[in-house]
Amino acid sequence: MAHEFDFVIPPGLIAGVDEVGRGPLAGAVVAAAVILDPNNPIEGLNDSKALSEKKRDALFPEICEKALAWSLGRAEAAEIDQINILQASLLAMSRAVEGLNIKPDFALVDGNKLPKLSCPAEAVVKGDSKVAAIAAASIIAKVTRDREMVELDAIYPGYGLAGHKGYPTKAHMAAVEELGVLPIHRRSFGPIKKLLQPA
């Protein structure tokens, strides 16, 4: 069933912006900005969380191919620890938009806070289910981050990163307790912070 988007889109070139990875204890927060081509629609777009991994993986190359422009932005664990996760998420989104090779007339950003951008923008709560371009951005960001966690799993075996993607699961916490904190862990996050405190 096609997902119906009901948000009134302003005229001009619109960048949809979303980020993924606020909740995990490990890895970067990854954002994407996507300017869709109104003349080249993509079937099946939806909030990345509402789609299966298989469906996201299938849509990823199609979005990259059909979009007028797309770009990724990120903030690493060390930056998250320095400026906090909210600011890091906004920074990643700002980097994604500024990295677009076409300047958008307007940006629609998922959530209720706006990053600093060089174009006018509006925050859209639950935007990934209301705006096709935000849904596309959520898919690009999610697939990119998930693939990175699989790569990091090969670098840091034993932590199960490919499975839990850095989220605070019981298995993840057990691995950190047993094997220690990694350079990719967010030291300012409660469970990691607690482990690093001297007993």
Q: How large is the average pLDDT for residues 174-198?
A: 95
Per CATH, domain 14-196 is 3.30.420.10: yes
* Contacts (Cβ under 8 Å, ≥6 apart) of 198: none
On the question of pLDDT at 1 being above 50, the answer is no
* Contacts (Cβ under 8 Å, ≥6 apart) of 96: 17, 19, 31, 32, 33, 71, 72, 73, 137
Q: How large is the average pLDDT for residues 123-140?
A: 96
C-alpha–C-alpha distance, residues 99 and 130, integer Å: 24
Token pair in block for residue 32: 């994407």
pLDDT digits (tens, 9 = 90+) for 162-171: 999 999 999 9
Domains in the chain: boundaries: 14-196
pLDDT > 70 fraction of the chain, expressed in percent and rounded: 98
pLDDT digits (tens, 9 = 90+) for 60-79: 999 999 999 999 999 999 99
Q: What is the pLDDT of residue 199?
A: 67
Q: What is the pLDDT of residue 6?
A: 76
Burial tier of 160 (Cβ tally within 10 Å: 0-12, 13-18, 19+)? middle
Helix (H) or strand (E) holding 77: helix 77-83
